[in-house]
Amino acid sequence: MNFLNIAQPKMNFYHSLTQQPIPLKNQSAQTLSDLCKSTIPQPFLNPLLPSPHLQTAWNVATPYDTPVTYKRHVFTATHDTYPGTFTVDFVVHTPSVPDPRLPHRTSYYTTTEFEAFTSQDTKPMLITLHGLSGGSDENYVKECLRLLTEDKTWEACVINSRGCAKSELSSPILYHSSATWDLHQVATFLTQRFPNRKLYGLGFSLGANVLTTYAGQQGNNCVLKGAVVCSNPWNFDICSIHLQRTWIGNMYSKAMLHKAEISMNQNIDFEKLEQAGDFNEFNRFIQCPTWDYPTEGAYYRDTASVNWLLKVQIPLLAIHAEDDPLACKEAIPYQEFESNSNTVLCTTKSGGHLGWYEITGSRWHARAAAAFLNKLALETTTERKEPRSLGSDLTDRD
Which residues are known to be catalytic? Answer: 205, 324, 353
Distance separating alpha carbons of residues 178 and 207, to the nearest angstrom = 9
Positive or negative CA dihedral for 326, 207, 376, 225?
positive
The DSSP secondary structure of 1-39, one letter per residue, reads --HHHHHSPPEEEEE-S--PPEEBTTS-EE-HHHHHHHH
Distances (CA, A) of 319 to 123, 157, 249: 25, 21, 22
Identify any residues that bridge with 357 across adjacent strands, giving them in sequence order. 363
CA dist., res. 290 & res. 303, Å (int): 14
Rounded Cα distance between 254 and 280, Å, is: 9
Give CA–CA dist 154/386, Å, rounded.
20
- Cβ 192 vs Cβ 95: under 8 Å: no
Strand order through the sheet with 224-230? 11-15, 343-348, 316-321, 224-230, 199-204, 125-129, 155-160, 85-92, 69-76, 106-108
Count the Cβ atoms, other than its own, within 10 Å of residue 245.
10
Closest to 350 measured CA to CA, from 107, 116, 3: 3
Cβ proximity of 157 and 68 under 8 Å = no
List beta partners, residue 40.
Answer: none
47 residue type, one letter: P
